[in-house]
Structure 1
């Protein structure tokens, strides 16, 4: 077990669940890890935040979101060099990557299925306590091994308020 100053899993100054820090892949915005025998991805945020009780309660509620078209939120990592939101890994990457690779014959039925998954995920989020995704784009529409689209990086409003966006829509 690793000592943790603060984590969503364990609370302040207790022992947290251990991540395997031998990253499978690391990039500027993402790192991949193993967590309880599952592959997860950490989305690196460009800010450091002191989270209040209200924000921590929102993250706890996000961990309870369960829908076929909404990616599983695992928690927040506050202790490392980067503030990261931790999500279940979808093996085929983002919808943006799937379209950009252009290796598939995407017929009308396949495209309809992808769109239907996105709409069902949005409908669920809009009827949840979050009431919206918050920052939907194709790179946050993830595709799993069964070609099912799952919306990710929803919520996190406190982080988004702190992160300044450039004119191109990318975070600093």
Structure 2
């Protein structure tokens, strides 16, 4: 009986080795196939299809408010901050006039904290990773606002905010006010 068990155990071990070898061969084959496809992919990239714009968008002047109430990310970058940056850049390139307000509140409010407050709130020591984006938006003329209600709920003071950030009396009321002043609201 012991001899049968050893033989069975050896067969199982040999079977596992065979399966492993088969997997390695499969992986190497797939790798070779991908390597063979690379020139074709590269050639396609060189002959990318032409894009014809059927509906050109031209805006001479716009008033836009971003409702920044949650942190939605594209990789490590908050979508709203990225879209504000792209919008400002686009309007500068076309010479158009843009009035841009970013209203931060709720779950996105922490993005406007200075390094010390950010570290305390987010339990880290890296500082605010969004600081440069926010400061750049302000330098380009965007008005960046923090909700006073969110600040009170989180026990933050004006001294906890990045330089240049303004405080409104309440985000929802502020967004309503801006929409009534003909701002278009973007919800990233």
| Structure (1 or 2) with the larger CA radius of gyration | 2
Normalising by structure 2, report the TM-score: 0.20
Normalising by structure 1, report the TM-score: 0.22
